[in-house]
Structure 1
């Protein structure tokens, strides 16, 4: 049942991206073009998403499990560090250069857009590089903990 629910949610999200035009990088780049022919429609899509998600998160904070019975795991950290800021800057730069973020890129790739396939390939390569670097960082942290004199 959880997999079917996840599929339905993903399908609904993808349809929403298509209907709103957010799978079209020109629409996103039009939103980011403040000095040119600015398209505010992305702001309305974001506002609609926040208006829908805010009550859902409010309810989720008061529950221990989802309607499907899975444990609810919401982030608890409010720490803003260099990794968070750096990741946000990289995400924003990629979004601004390509006009895609991960969800719309997958929808556009599924629709056969060659630029989206290139973006998804680059995204997967970035994820692989992060996984290698993160594993290396954790190994170095573990090694430094075990080599500290006590």
Structure 2
């Protein structure tokens, strides 16, 4: 129960941060990606804030006896670049540039603009289902 409450609070905080930062507005995201046009630096500040928070977290985590809300840290163990990873990152970037949304802001946008965000979320879920179906559930 404690993990569920922590996850809920974290999700609400994440969604609120995305909404306050304007990341649920596809036009703002596309404006950031339009470096030769009417460039909007807002996303750079949002990403910069996230990088600062994570840099601090990565420095603090090794000094902690353990995490506050679970039994152990769950840190990434893989560091290899595979064609699947590179292809997925490229596909993600193309989709992000076209739609102006990625999964987190897309789900948060369901609260603000349900109709247009729902189209994105349904397409995202369909893409995830296609990958699961074609590669099996081990991915």
**Do these two structures clear the TM 0.5 threshold for a shared fold by scoring above it?**
yes
Structure 2: tracts of 5 or more residues without a match: none
| Contact 1:64–1:71 (8 Å) recurs in 2 | no
Runs of 4+ that moved beyond 4 A: 61-64
Q: CA RMSD in A?
A: 1.6
TM value normalised by structure 2: 0.91
**Counterpart position of 2:90:** 89
Aligned residues: 137
Distance 1:61 1:87 in 2: 30
Structure 1: tracts of 5 or more residues without a match: 139-150
What do residues 55-105 of structure 1 show as CA deviations (whole Å, max 9, x unaligned)? 113333455742013321111211011001000000000000000000000
**Counterpart position of 2:75:** 74
Q: 2:136 is paired with a residue of what secondary structure?
A: helix
TM value normalised by structure 1: 0.85
Larger Rg: 1
What do residues 19-49 of structure 1 show as CA deviations (whole Å, max 9, x unaligned)? 1101111110000011110001111110111
Distance 2:21 2:113 in 1: 18
Q: Which moved more, 1:111-120 or 1:62-71?
A: 62-71
